[in-house]
Amino acid sequence: MHIDDLIDATNLYINSEEQDRPQLSIPKEWAQGRTAYGGLTGALVYSAIREKVSNDRLLRSFACNFVGPVITEAPYDIEVEVLRQGKNVTQVIGKAIQDGNVCVMVQAAFGVSRDSKIDVPNTDHHSMRAPTKADFLPQIPKITPKFLRHIDLARQAGGLPFTGSKESKIDGWMRFTKPPKVLTDAHLIALIDGWPPTTLQMLNWPAPASTMSWNIEFVYPHYAFSPLEWFAYQVRTRQAADGYAQTEANIWDSKGQLIAISRQTIAVFD
């Protein structure tokens, strides 16, 4: 099932009366181990949130906590609450709930654009060459996460998972394998989480890992990107100890414009 179909189903759900709502579920092809792909579940909760916010308010920050697994092929619900809508900023929370348990919780902040005397341009750049095709992991049954069939990754630096690499960074590019009709901020959220944690490449054998919290700050939200576009991605491990790691990534569009900063806290069970 294409991501557009899942987003459309979510938007229909959140805009329907409770007695008329369709049932939400995520197919197995979007699985990531024992749970649904986190980038997708975060994006779907965000999509429901976006339906409650006026279009003049652009996404400025996205904060997501993965509380528990979202089981694929099983029904779940989404609840949205507008915490505050001020003159300039709207704060909204959304929850994915399965079997009565909160599995994913998202808080999103939206803000209108204003004239300002403060203008500090970004100075972070990358020197990666643009890819011509995907180059990461083939689909290997029971090894490669199922959701990766929907995302093209082109790695240019960093190791593959469980190869005992000495590096704790990843450089590369990403896009959807089958382009969406229109690339929205929900699509970008789903795309940004496609890379594995930087710490997995440092292990010599498979071990589970789980993102606990994930924050994205949208630096350049006035975008109109092509659904075919490759996005550059560079992530660095800020520190790792005691079974947890903090990572920080920059995301650029194909023209070299920094569009987002992504931060994660990751638990590794090695």
Provide the pLDDT for residue 142: 65
Provide the pLDDT for residue 152: 94
* Band (209; pLDDT cuts 50, 70, 90): confident
Residue 167 to residue 197: CA distance in whole angstroms: 12
Provide the residue type at 235 as one letter.
V
Q: Can you read off the two tokens belonging to residue 238? A: 């800020």
Query: What is the pLDDT of the chain when averaged over all its residues?
Result: 92
Comparing CA positions, the residue from 138, 151, 247 lying closest to residue 199 is 247
For residue range 67-91, what is the model confidence (pLDDT) as tens digits?
A: 999 999 999 999 999 999 999 999 9
pTM of the model: 0.93
Provide the pLDDT for residue 77: 97
33 conformational bin, left if phi > 0, alpha if psi -120 to 50, beta if neither: left
The answer, yes or no, to whether residue 136 has pLDDT greater than 80, is: no
Q: CA end-to-end span of the chain, whole Å? A: 33
CA distances from 166 to 157, 196, 264 (A): 12, 16, 20
Comparing CA positions, the residue from 29, 35, 63, 28 lying closest to residue 208 is 35
SS3 11: helix
Residue 46 to residue 187: CA distance in whole angstroms: 10
Provide the pLDDT for residue 94: 98
Q: Can you read off the two tokens belonging to residue 197? A: 């944690």
Provide the pLDDT for residue 207: 85
Domains present along the chain, CATH in parentheses: 3-113+128-268 (2.40.160.210)
For residue range 104-135, what is the model confidence (pLDDT) as tens digits?
A: 999 999 999 888 899 888 888 999 999 988 88
Provide the pLDDT for residue 119: 85
